[in-house]
């Protein structure tokens, strides 16, 4: 307040004292008038003066204007005037617009911070902001629109405190979100600007706005406005979306889960005619590409980035970006940003990288997009930012992509080079850039080739096979040799650009190539000129420009020591260390090595993966290479300071550790095999148990089925007994009713006939018996005649016997059948005699007919019952057989269970024995671990780095190979 009085005092001494007096009168009128019309006119007058007399109106009228907002809510017109007046005195934009060049600088400085001071006065009472939020709910245009503008300028002047007041206000953010649904475009558009200011650097408000359906509403506005062809409103919506998504993982996940990524695809559907792009369209598309990059930024959590990358591929967004990438007539800045966007969409995502490898440019013949981009990278006439973007795209394509790395390196190998020369490969372009006279092309090609070898020892070895034809008539040289030749002759070749840049690029490539690849180190040391060149570069006292080259030469020499397998007699580790001590000095070597990490360009490159440089001269380090330097610097320093005795002790300790590791590995393999056998046996036991349980359930089911059949049989038997009783009761009724005399006589006749038949059958039976007796006696009585006949006709005897036996069998069968018939007839005779023994009672003719029908029906039912009885007997017999078979199965399963129990007891004994063996092995392993710990302690006392158990285990094989080579070298010595 003192500040405002001082400023006001300075103003009051100006040439316009009448203005201050007028403002004072108007303020008194607002405060004291009882008529609403008078107050309204006074506030309108203050509004008209607020632009010219901003300070005076602000100091004198602000309390009265706030009082009007509190008391005159019913009149929208005066509320609108009050809000406009407050906006005019708080906003600095109006002051800048109205300012004339003739005004004094002192006055400008005094009024520069008026907006911030007036904002502090307004928000000092938090209720003022809450009151303003309530006016934003009014639908009246003359109230709502000035309220939106006033709150926006408050957020511009004092963002964090106003954000905090809105955040703690009930439904504060929700009221502001309703502005996006207003049908009046001016309020909707200013509402977007208000939300831009509200969501700046406040994650809590960003989350609330996102969950208030902001994404849906903003995307709808962008679509309605025509996507990238829209106006300034689309730009504002995109800026608001960036505020909501940038560095806000929660909102990014919500955006992806809400399937809003799919709605971004129409933004990039540009037409075939790409000429005449408007400045607004370029701005919109640039912001759209940046919004895509926000979702897949390398700084985001890896899981969130990969899920967004997959979503962009599945919805076709990546494909649409590649179409823009290969299109003609696209503005250069849009093309550059598209390349950067595609780079981050494919970075580390195998699916997207594979798709990008398959993209072809619309040329004749079609060329892969990677080749077309590399042609731009090594072309010195292309803009610098475009070449940096292509390099970043190539790096992202190879990031964690062993398949892509192999494809790039394969284009350099002799077996895959196109002999016809019709097509240019990626490898040929990289070599052309590597050996170009443009230093920037050298650096970009070297870094690109280094990324093709990143963390891939196999490709490092394969690249040693690459041969280059330098000139006609001269023999080809290896790529490694050519790189070292250019490095040593760097000062003699006339290049465009920085000579240091070329050597730095080649040294980064060589360091990446030789690290963790002893074979490449051997090839490098095999050239006798390389080591003297490196020591000479390190030992010289060159200017500050050469510090980077000296540091990288020290790093390359250190890599040649640390990854040396001592296969070359003249360049063993110990001899290289002695050379450093004599020619350079260990302290000087370490100091030169430290030049790398202390350099400003190194710090810039380590911050982010994307190469972004203000000028080509600043392009010195690659982001991935800074990781390699950080990893190797300490290791190389320790390796240089080690003495020969320490090396020998370390080798002895390594050998003993290897022996112990071999023992441990062998026992581990034994334990692993035994565990596998135990698991197999356990599985067998489980399967046998399951089979046993299945058999037991089957037996139980079959027993229950047998019991059911028995119950059914007993039930049928009871029913059959009841039917027999029913039939006997019917017979009693018939006897009681009597039988016809004609029927009795008929029955007597049938009985006589059956008697006659029986007598005939008995006679036939007697005849047959006598015939059988005679046949039995004939062989004994006629033995001699048979012998005589056999002498005369030998073949006839056996044939007669067979015929007689056949006849005897047939007769027996006939006799058996006739005997059954006789038994049946006898039973029928007994039944008829029982019927005849009943005393006859005379009945009428109709009753006789009825009785005959009943008798016939009874006979039919009797026959059916007999048939059913026979079928039941057959079923009983079948069930008996089934029961016998089930009993056999049960006996066999019981025997199987006994066998399984014996096997189980054997397995348990074996398990106990194996556990005992494992206990012995664990005791032995414990002893070995104690020895290993003692040896590690000894190593630590010697100052040697000791690796963890997991690293030792993973590096067993490699250490064995190195140990064998070192033993061979010692034997040769």
- CATH number of the domain encompassing residue 621: 1.25.10.10
Domain presence at residue 614: yes
Q: Which pLDDT does position 589 carry in this prediction?
A: 92
Share of the chain above pLDDT 70, in %: 76
Q: Which residues of 796-808 are buried (b: 16+ CB within 10 A; e: fewer)?
A: eeeeeeeeeeeee
Q: How far apart are the first and last CA of the chain?
A: 91
How confident is the model over 174-188, as a mean pLDDT?
A: 92
Task: Domain of residue 598: give its range.
Answer: 434-642
406 to 426, 485, 524, 886: CA distances (angstroms): 12, 26, 22, 67
Q: Which pLDDT does position 416 carry in this prediction?
A: 56
Q: Of all helices (H) and strands (E), which one includes residue 889?
A: helix 845-942
Copy the structure tokens of residue 532.
């003297």
Per-residue pLDDT for 357 more than 90? yes
SS3 state at 50: coil
Q: Which pLDDT does position 737 carry in this prediction?
A: 43
Confidence of residue 738 (pLDDT cuts 50, 70, 90): very low
Q: Of all helices (H) and strands (E), which one includes residue 478?
A: strand 477-478
Domain presence at residue 584: yes
Residues in the chain: 973
Please write the tens of the pLDDT for every residue from 601-631: 999 999 999 988 888 888 899 999 999 999 9
Per-residue pLDDT for 695 more than 90? no
Q: Which pLDDT does position 493 carry in this prediction?
A: 67
* Separation of CA 502 from chain center: 41
Domain presence at residue 543: yes
Confidence of residue 644 (pLDDT cuts 50, 70, 90): low
Domain presence at residue 878: no
How confident is the model over 926-955, as a mean pLDDT?
A: 70
Confidence of residue 491 (pLDDT cuts 50, 70, 90): low
Distance, in Å, from the CA atom of 81 to the CA atom of 58, rounded to the nearest integer, reads: 14
Distance, in Å, from the CA atom of 274 to the CA atom of 327, rounded to the nearest integer, reads: 8
CB 399 within 8 A of CB 349: no
188 to 141, 149, 704, 846: CA distances (angstroms): 12, 12, 80, 111
**Sign for the pseudo-dihedral over CA of 531, 535, 538, 541:** negative
Q: What secondary structure, in 3-state letters, does 788-818 show?
A: HHHHHCCCHHHHHHHHHHHHHHHHHHHHHHH
CB 46 within 8 A of CB 57: yes
Domain count, the chain: 1
CB 463 within 8 A of CB 476: no
Per-residue pLDDT for 420 more than 60? no
Strand bridging mode 467-468 / 367-368: unpaired
Confidence of residue 394 (pLDDT cuts 50, 70, 90): very high
Domain presence at residue 525: yes
Per-residue pLDDT for 956 more than 50? no
Give the largest CA-CA distance in the chain.
179
User: Which of 165-179, 646-660, 915-929 is modeled with the greatest confidence?
Assistant: 165-179
771-780, 815-824, 905-914, 961-970, range with the lowest pLDDT: 961-970
Vertex 323 angle, CA 316 and 384, to 5°: 125
Q: Which pLDDT does position 363 carry in this prediction?
A: 80
Per-residue pLDDT for 880 more than 90? no
Confidence of residue 1 (pLDDT cuts 50, 70, 90): very low
Q: Which pLDDT does position 4 carry in this prediction?
A: 38
119 to 97, 156, 175, 388, 682: CA distances (angstroms): 20, 10, 21, 45, 79
Share of the chain above pLDDT 90, in %: 42
Domain presence at residue 613: yes
Q: Of all helices (H) and strands (E), which one includes residue 361?
A: strand 360-361
In terms of DSSP H, where are the helices of 263-401? 279-295, 302-314, 317-326, 332-346, 350-358, 369-377, 384-398
Domain presence at residue 910: no
Q: Which pLDDT does position 112 carry in this prediction?
A: 53
SS3 state at 496: strand
Distance, in Å, from the CA atom of 911 to the CA atom of 905, rounded to the nearest integer, reads: 10
User: Which of 553-567, 650-664, 762-776 is modeled with the greatest confidence?
Assistant: 553-567
Distance, in Å, from the CA atom of 704 to the CA atom of 884, rounded to the nearest integer, reads: 15
CB atoms within 10 A of CB 421: 8
Residue 150, C-beta contacts closer than 8 angstroms, at least 6 positions apart: 83, 86, 87, 90, 132
**Sign for the pseudo-dihedral over CA of 66, 69, 72, 78:** positive
Per-residue pLDDT for 585 more than 80? yes
Per-residue pLDDT for 236 more than 90? yes
Please write the tens of the pLDDT for every residue from 404-413: 999 999 998 8
Q: Which region holds residue 943: left if phi is over 0, alpha if psi is between -120 and 50, else beta?
A: left
Confidence of residue 733 (pLDDT cuts 50, 70, 90): very low
Distance, in Å, from the CA atom of 661 to the CA atom of 665, rounded to the nearest integer, reads: 6
Higher-pLDDT residue of 628 and 944 is: 628
Copy the structure tokens of residue 886.
């089930």
Q: Of all helices (H) and strands (E), which one includes residue 570?
A: none
Higher-pLDDT residue of 881 and 100 is: 881
Q: Which pLDDT does position 238 carry in this prediction?
A: 96
Per-residue pLDDT for 893 more than 50? yes
- Round the average pLDDT of the chain to a whole number and report it: 81
Strand bridging mode 360-361 / 367-368: antiparallel
Domain presence at residue 130: no
60 to 1, 26, 128: CA distances (angstroms): 11, 10, 17
């Amino acid at each position: 307040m003192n500040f405002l009085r001082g400023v006001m005092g300075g103003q009051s001494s100006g040439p316009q004292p009448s203005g201050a007096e007028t403002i004072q009168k108007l303020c008194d009128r607002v405060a004291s008038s009882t008529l609403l019309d008078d107050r309204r006119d006074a506030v309108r007058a203050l509004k008209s003066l607020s632009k010219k007399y901003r300070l005076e109106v602000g100091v004198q009228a602000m309390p009265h204007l706030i009082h009007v907002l509190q008391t005159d809510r019913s009149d929208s017109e005066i509320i609108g005037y009050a809000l406009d007046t407050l906006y005019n005195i708080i906003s600095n934009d109006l002051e800048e617009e109205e300012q004339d060049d003739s005004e004094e600088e002192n006055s400008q400085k005094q009024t520069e911070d008026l907006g911030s001071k007036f904002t502090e006065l307004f928000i000092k009472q938090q209720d003022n902001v809450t009151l303003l939020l309530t006016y934003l709910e009014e639908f009246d245009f003359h109230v709502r629109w000035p309220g939106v503008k006033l709150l926006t300028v408050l957020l511009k002047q004092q963002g964090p405190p106003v954000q905090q007041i809105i955040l703690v206000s009930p439904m504060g953010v929700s009221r502001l979100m309703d502005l996006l649904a207003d049908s009046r475009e001016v309020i909707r558009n200013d509402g977007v600007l208000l939300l831009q200011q509200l969501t700046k650097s406040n994650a809590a408000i960003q989350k609330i706005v996102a969950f208030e359906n902001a994404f849906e509403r903003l995307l709808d506005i962008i679509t309605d406005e025509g996507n990238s062809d829209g106006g300034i409103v689309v730009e504002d919506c995109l800026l608001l979306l960036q505020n909501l998504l940038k560095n806000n993982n929660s909102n990014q996940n919500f955006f992806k889960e809400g399937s809003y990524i799919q709605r971004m695809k129409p933004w990039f559907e540009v037409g075939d005619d790409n000429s005449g792009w408007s400045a607004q369209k370029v701005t919109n598309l640039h912001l759209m590409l940046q919004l895509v990059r926000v979702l897949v930024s390398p700084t985001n959590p890896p899981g969130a980035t990969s899920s967004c990358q997959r979503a962009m591929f599945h919805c076709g967004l990546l494909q649409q970006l590649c179409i823009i990438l290969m299109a003609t007539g696209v503005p250069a800045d849009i093309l550059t940003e598209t390349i950067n966007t595609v780079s981050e969409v494919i970075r580390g995502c195998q699916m997207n990288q594979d798709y990008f490898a398959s993209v072809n440019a619309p040329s004749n013949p079609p060329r892969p997009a990677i080749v077309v981009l590399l042609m731009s990278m090594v072309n010195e006439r292309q803009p610098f930012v475009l070449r940096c973007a292509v390099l970043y795209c190539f790096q992202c394509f190879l990031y964690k992509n062993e398949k892509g790395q192999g494809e790039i390196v394969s284009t350099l190998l002799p077996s895959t080079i196109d002999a016809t020369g019709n097509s240019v490969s990626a490898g040929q372009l990289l070599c052309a850039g590597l050996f170009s006279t443009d230093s920037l092309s050298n650096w970009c090609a070297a870094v690109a080739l280094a990324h093709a070898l990143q963390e891939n020892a196999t490709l490092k070895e394969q690249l040693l096979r690459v041969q280059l034809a330098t000139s006609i008539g001269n023999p080809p040289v290896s790529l490694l040799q050519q790189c070292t030749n250019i490095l040593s002759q760097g000062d003699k070749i006339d290049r465009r650009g920085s000579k240091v840049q070329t050597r730095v690029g080649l040294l980064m490539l060589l360091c990446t190539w030789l690290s963790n690849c002893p074979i490449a180190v051997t090839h490098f040391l095999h050239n006798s000129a390389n080591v003297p060149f490196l020591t000479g570069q390190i030992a010289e006292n060159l200017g500050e420009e050469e510090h980077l080259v000296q540091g990288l030469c020290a790093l390359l020499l250190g890599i040649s020591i640390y990854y040396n397998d001592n296969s070359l007699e003249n360049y063993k580790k110990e001899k290289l260390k002695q050379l450093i001590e004599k020619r350079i000095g260990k302290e000087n070597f370490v100091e030169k090595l430290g030049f790398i990490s202390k350099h400003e360009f190194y710090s810039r490159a380590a911050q982010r993966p994307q190469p972004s440089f203000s000028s080509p001269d600043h392009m010195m380090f690659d982001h991935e290479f800074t990781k390699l330097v950080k990893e190797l610097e300490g290791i190389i320093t320790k390796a240089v300071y080690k003495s020969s005795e320490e090396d020998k002790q370390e080798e002895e300790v390594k050998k003993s550790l290897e022996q112990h590791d071999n023992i441990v590995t062998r026992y581990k393999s034994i334990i692993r095999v035994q565990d596998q056998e135990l698991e197999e046996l356990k599985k067998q036991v489980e399967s046998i148990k399951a089979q046993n349980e299945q058999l037991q359930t089957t037996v139980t089911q079959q027993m229950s089925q047998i019991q059911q059949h028995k119950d059914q049989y007993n039930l049928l038997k009871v029913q059959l007994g009841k039917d027999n009783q029913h039939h006997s009761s019917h017979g009693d009724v018939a006897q009681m009713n009597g039988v016809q005399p004609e029927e009795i006589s008929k029955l007597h006749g049938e009985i006589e006939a059956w008697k006659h038949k029986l007598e005939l059958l008995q006679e036939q039976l007697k005849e047959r018996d006598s015939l059988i007796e005679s046949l039995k006696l004939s062989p004994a009585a006629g033995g001699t005649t048979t012998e005589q006949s056999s002498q005369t006709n030998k073949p006839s005897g056996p044939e007669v016997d067979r015929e007689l036996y056949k006849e005897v069998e047939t007769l027996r069968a006939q006799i058996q059948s006739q005997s059954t018939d006789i038994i049946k007839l006898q039973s029928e005779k007994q039944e008829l005699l029982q019927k005849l023994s009943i005393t006859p009672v005379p009945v009428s003719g109709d009753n006789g007919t009825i009785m005959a029908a009943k008798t016939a029906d009874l006979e039919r039912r009797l026959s059916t019952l007999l048939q059913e009885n026979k079928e039941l007997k057959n079923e009983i017999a079948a069930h008996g057989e089934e029961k016998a078979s089930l009993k056999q199965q049960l006996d066999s399963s019981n025997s199987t269970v006994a066998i399984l129990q014996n096997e189980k007891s054997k397995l348990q004994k074996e398990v106990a024995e194996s556990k005992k063996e494992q206990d012995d092995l664990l005791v032995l392993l414990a002893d070995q671990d104690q020895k290993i710990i003692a040896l590690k302690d000894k190593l630590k006392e010697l100052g040697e780095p000791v690796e963890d158990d997991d690293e030792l285990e993973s590096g067993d094989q490699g250490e064995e190979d190195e140990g064998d080579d070192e033993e061979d070298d010692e034997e040769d010595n």
